[in-house]
């Protein structure tokens, strides 16, 4: 008899295969020799710990390179951060302290990791809370290395559906993607790093699926719907056949979308809309081009700065910006200057505690105050502009004076570079209501606008989209938000400058008709969303877009 279960949709896609149950023992295997109850020599134990940590770091760095080629560098950066974590001095100090109190080595590693993870679990910031799972993953790998090695996730069948209590990010990275069709876990969630890696690798995943370990036995047929978060264990013949038909239809739809790649995004009534990609790394440009992107509408530079103990220098930034500019040439690449503060923090740049960081020292405010951050980035951007069409985007602008200060700084740096600097266009993000309300004045200072709907919605409606109690209020189709977008577009077009939308709303099929109706020139979104958005834009009629803003 079939068993239908509901979990959390963590990575999209449909898969039908056979269950392989996995109870990972990483960090929970038998103690390695000398790690029993009797305390050993702390110095010898620490030497063994450092050797195991070096081994784990090397493994993770190797995995990082493999995943970068398969899933892109944003997903691979998770493993890079874990590699650094393996030799974290604070972790090592806590392990040594426990050893000197008589704790056996493998247990000391686990206890030190759990103590560090518990501190992160207690923080409000969701990004930092996610690091707790990474700490447990890394210290589990170190403990497993001490015990003789980590067990690899199984893939016993050509169509394996891996079922586990939870799955750490490093285990996802080690999956045999040729044999593992889907992942189902009893715990975990859609925002975990394991989920992000599964998405990058194209493996459908359902997490938080309570009861799956009890319902499934080894070798059972399992149908996984990563879009809806549902799992069907031992489907009846009719259920299995119906699911196979869904898989076939999905494959046909994907092939149909792929055929749109080189066609323009022009509505049924003749209006052209540019579709661009949001990227975090130059290595993702290939996926953007394969999806049919006409440029990069948002390149997030903060990913160069995250998850590392130091700040990237000018040369490292230049190499990344040049790579994306060359990969996309002659298409435009909009590169946003460093946008930290609020919900984004840098390990290498401790920021003062603020009562309300979303209304504090963030975005362009911080960047203009810290020329040690701004100048190397500007130099790298202007040098990269000789290798493609580079546009510079300023985040969190609220006042004309900020744009003027930024342009003066850029021009000063440009004068110093001389012929090494390429041409550029300067744009501003419209993320706060003040920018939309003063769009006519700001349009006189910029060459383009880019509307960041995530923050614009949040600030307009005073609703944090990450807070489940008020998330329902965070609606980009709220009349107040649409009116601010309308004001922005009208002011920009009066000055002859284009307007893009680069927030989540740009790829949302519910919102796209309204954005087209309001005259937005460009929609920028994750590469995977471009084909469906192009199909939708090409099907829009004049009646469709008029209906989307009726009553505004």
H helical segments located in 259-399: 285-291, 314-328, 364-369, 371-384
Using DSSP, state whether 517 is helix, strand or coil: helix
Tell me the CA distances in angstroms from 244 to 177, 214, 238, 251, one per residue in order: 20, 25, 10, 11
Identify which has the larger pLDDT, 442 or 340. Answer: 442
Determine contact, residues 539/260, Cβ cutoff 8 Å: no
Per-residue pLDDT, 359: 87
Sign of CA dihedral 478, 480, 484, 489: positive
Q: What is the mean pLDDT of the segment spanning 197-208? A: 90
Using the 8-state DSSP alphabet, how is residue 478 labeled? Answer: S
Identify which has the larger pLDDT, 307 or 16. Answer: 16
Residues in the chain: 552
Per-residue pLDDT, 502: 93
Please tell me the distance from the alpha carbon of residue 477 to that of residue 16, in angstroms, as a whole number. Answer: 37
Please tell me the distance from the alpha carbon of residue 123 to that of residue 383, in angstroms, as a whole number. Answer: 40
Active site residue 209: no
Tell me the CA distances in angstroms from 165 to 120, 154, 208, 210, 368, one per residue in order: 22, 14, 9, 9, 47
CA-closest candidate to residue 125, choices 224, 191, 59: 191
Q: What band does 122 get if pLDDT is binned at 50, 70 and 90?
A: confident
Q: What is the mean pLDDT of the segment spanning 111-127? A: 80
Please tell me the distance from the alpha carbon of residue 34 to that of residue 105, in angstroms, as a whole number. Answer: 8
Determine contact, residues 5/212, Cβ cutoff 8 Å: yes
Same fold, 3-23+152-256 and 270-548: no
Q: What is the mean pLDDT of the segment spanning 140-150? A: 84
Please tell me the distance from the alpha carbon of residue 202 to that of residue 341, in angstroms, as a whole number. Answer: 31
Q: Is it the case that residue 98 has pLDDT exceeding 90?
A: yes
Provide the terminal-to-terminal Cα distance of the chain, rounded to the nearest Å.
52
Per-residue pLDDT, 254: 83
Per-residue pLDDT, 27: 44
Q: Is it the case that residue 33 has pLDDT exceeding 60?
A: no
Per-residue pLDDT, 77: 75
Q: What is the mean pLDDT of the segment spanning 107-119? A: 92
Spatial neighbors of 101 by CB under 8 A, at least 6 apart, are none
Using DSSP, state whether 384 is helix, strand or coil: helix
Per-residue pLDDT, 351: 75
Per-residue pLDDT, 473: 83
Architecture of domain 3-23+152-256: 3-Layer(bba) Sandwich (3.50)
Q: What band does 25 get if pLDDT is binned at 50, 70 and 90?
A: low
Percent of the chain exceeding pLDDT 90 equals 64
Residue 259, number of CB atoms within 10 A of its CB: 10
Please tell me the distance from the alpha carbon of residue 113 to that of residue 482, in angstroms, as a whole number. Answer: 47
Percent of the chain exceeding pLDDT 70 equals 91
Q: Is it the case that residue 189 has pLDDT exceeding 50?
A: yes
Q: What is the mean pLDDT of the segment spanning 31-57? A: 75
Please tell me the distance from the alpha carbon of residue 247 to that of residue 179, in angstroms, as a whole number. Answer: 17
Give the residue numbers of the binding site for Mg(2+).
Answer: 431, 455
Choosing from 193, 209, 387, 391, the catalytic residue is 193
Tell me the per-residue pLDDT of 405-438, one tens digit each, with 9 for 90 and over.
Answer: 999 999 999 999 999 999 999 999 999 999 999 9
Per-residue pLDDT, 282: 87
Give the residue numbers of the binding site for phosphoenolpyruvate.
Answer: 300, 336, 454-455, 465
Per-residue pLDDT, 528: 81
Tell me the CA distances in angstroms from 254 to 57, 77, 190, 363, 467, one per residue in order: 38, 28, 23, 38, 34
Q: Structure tokens of 293?
A: 């992107």
Spatial neighbors of 512 by CB under 8 A, at least 6 apart, are 506, 523, 533, 536, 537, 540
Give the residue numbers of the binding site.
Answer: 300, 336, 431, 454-455, 465
Per-residue pLDDT, 35: 46
Tell me the CA distances in angstroms from 332 to 185, 262, 289, 296, one per residue in order: 41, 17, 12, 6
Tell me the per-residue pLDDT of 381-402, one tens digit each, with 9 for 90 and over.
Answer: 999 999 999 999 999 999 999 9
Q: What is the mean pLDDT of the segment spanning 536-543? A: 96
Q: Is it the case that residue 472 has pLDDT exceeding 80?
A: no
Q: Is it the case that residue 26 has pLDDT exceeding 50?
A: no
Q: What band does 132 get if pLDDT is binned at 50, 70 and 90?
A: confident
Q: Where are the domains of the chain?
A: 3-23+152-256, 42-146, 270-548
Determine contact, residues 138/85, Cβ cutoff 8 Å: yes
- Three-class SS of 18-71: EEEECCCCCCCCCCCCCCCCCCCCHHHHHHHHHHHHHHHHHHHHHHHHHHHHHH
Q: Is it the case that residue 31 has pLDDT exceeding 50?
A: no
CA-closest candidate to residue 51, choices 173, 142, 165, 134: 142
Tell me the per-residue pLDDT of 476-502, one tens digit each, with 9 for 90 and over.
Answer: 999 999 999 999 999 999 999 999 999
Place of tokens 């009846």: 236
Label residues 329-364 b or e (16+ Cβ within 10 Å = b): eebbbbbbbbbbbbebbbeebeeeeeeebeebebbb
CATH topology of domain 42-146: Enzyme I; Chain A, domain 2 (1.10.274)
Determine contact, residues 325/288, Cβ cutoff 8 Å: no
How high does pLDDT run on average in the chain? 89
Per-residue pLDDT, 30: 38
- Three-class SS of 162-196: EEECCCCHHHHHCCCCCCEEEEEECCCCCCCHHHH
Instruction: List, edge to edge, every strand of the sheet that includes 14-21.
Output: 3-6, 230-233, 221-225, 14-21, 160-164, 180-185, 205-207, 8-11
Q: Structure tokens of 319?
A: 């190499």
Per-residue pLDDT, 28: 40
Q: Is it the case that residue 39 has pLDDT exceeding 90?
A: no
Q: Is it the case that residue 284 has pLDDT exceeding 90?
A: no
Residue 479, number of CB atoms within 10 A of its CB: 12
Per-residue pLDDT, 36: 44
Place of tokens 């949709």: 9
Spatial neighbors of 484 by CB under 8 A, at least 6 apart, are 430, 433, 436, 437, 456, 460
Active site residue 193: yes
Q: Does domain 270-548 have CATH number 3.20.20.60?
A: yes
């Amino acid at each position: 008899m079939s068993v239908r279960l509901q979990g959390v949709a963590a990575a999209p896609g449909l898969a039908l295969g056979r269950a392989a149950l996995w109870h990972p023992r990483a960090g929970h295997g038998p103690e390695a020799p000398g790690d029993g109850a009797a305390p050993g020599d702390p110095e010898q134990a620490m030497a063994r710990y450092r050797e195991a940590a070096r081994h784990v770091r090397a493994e993770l760095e190797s995995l990082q390179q493999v995943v970068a080629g398969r899933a892109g560098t944003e997903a691979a950066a998770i493993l890079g951060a874990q590699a650094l974590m393996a030799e974290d001095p604070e972790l090592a100090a806590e392990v040594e302290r426990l050893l000197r109190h008589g704790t056996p080595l493998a247990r000391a590693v686990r206890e030190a990791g759990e103590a560090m993870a518990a501190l992160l679990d207690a923080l409000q910031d969701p990004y930092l809370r996610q690091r707790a799972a990474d700490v447990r993953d890394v210290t589990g790998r170190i403990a497993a290395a001490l015990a003789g090695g980590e067990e690899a996730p199984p893939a016993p069948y050509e169509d394996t559906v891996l079922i586990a209590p939870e799955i750490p990010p490093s285990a996802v990275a080690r999956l045999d993607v040729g044999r593992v069709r889907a992942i189902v876990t009893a715990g975990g969630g859609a925002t975990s790093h394991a989920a992000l890696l599964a998405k990058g690798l194209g493996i459908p995943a359902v997490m938080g699926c309570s009861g799956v370990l009890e319902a499934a036995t080894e070798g059972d047929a399992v149908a996984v719907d990563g879009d809806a978060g549902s799992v069907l264990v031992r489907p009846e013949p009719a259920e299995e056949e119906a699911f196979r038909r869904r898989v076939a239809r999905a494959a046909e739809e994907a092939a149909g979308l792929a055929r749109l790649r080189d066609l323009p995004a022009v509505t049924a009534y003749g209006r052209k809309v540019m579709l661009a990609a949001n990227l975090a790394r130059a290595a993702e440009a290939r996926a953007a081009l394969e999806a049919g992107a006409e440029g990069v509408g948002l390149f997030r530079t903060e990913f160069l700065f995250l998850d590392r103990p130091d700040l990237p220098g000018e040369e490292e930034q230049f190499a990344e910006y040049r790579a994306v500019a060359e990969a996309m040439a002659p298409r435009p690449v909009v590169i946003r200057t460093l946008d930290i503060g609020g919900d984004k923090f840098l390990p290498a740049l401790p920021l003062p505690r603020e009562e309300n960081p979303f209304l504090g020292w963030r975005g362009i405010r911080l960047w203009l105050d810290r020329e040690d951050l701004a100048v190397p980035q500007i130099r790298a951007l202007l040098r990269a502009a000789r290798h493609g069409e580079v546009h510079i985007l300023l985040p969190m602008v609220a006042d004309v004076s900020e744009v003027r200060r930024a342009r003066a700084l850029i021009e000063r740096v440009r004068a110093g570079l001389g012929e090494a600097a390429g041409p550029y266009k300067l744009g501003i993000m419209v993320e706060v209501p003040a920018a939309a309300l003063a769009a006519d004045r700001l349009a006189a200072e910029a060459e383009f606008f880019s509307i960041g709907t995530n923050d614009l919605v949040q600030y307009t409606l005073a609703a944090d989209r990450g807070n489940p109690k008020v998330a329902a209020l965070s609606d980009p189709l709220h009349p107040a938000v649409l009116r601010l977008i309308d004001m922005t577009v009208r002011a920009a077009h009066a000055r002859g400058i284009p307007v893009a939308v680069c927030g989540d709303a740009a790829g949302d099929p519910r919102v796209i008709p309204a954005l087209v109706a309001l005259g937005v020139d460009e929609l920028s979104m994750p590469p995977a969303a471009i084909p469906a958005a192009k199909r939708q834009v090409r099907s829009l009629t004049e009646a469709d877009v008029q209906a989307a803003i009726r009553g505004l």
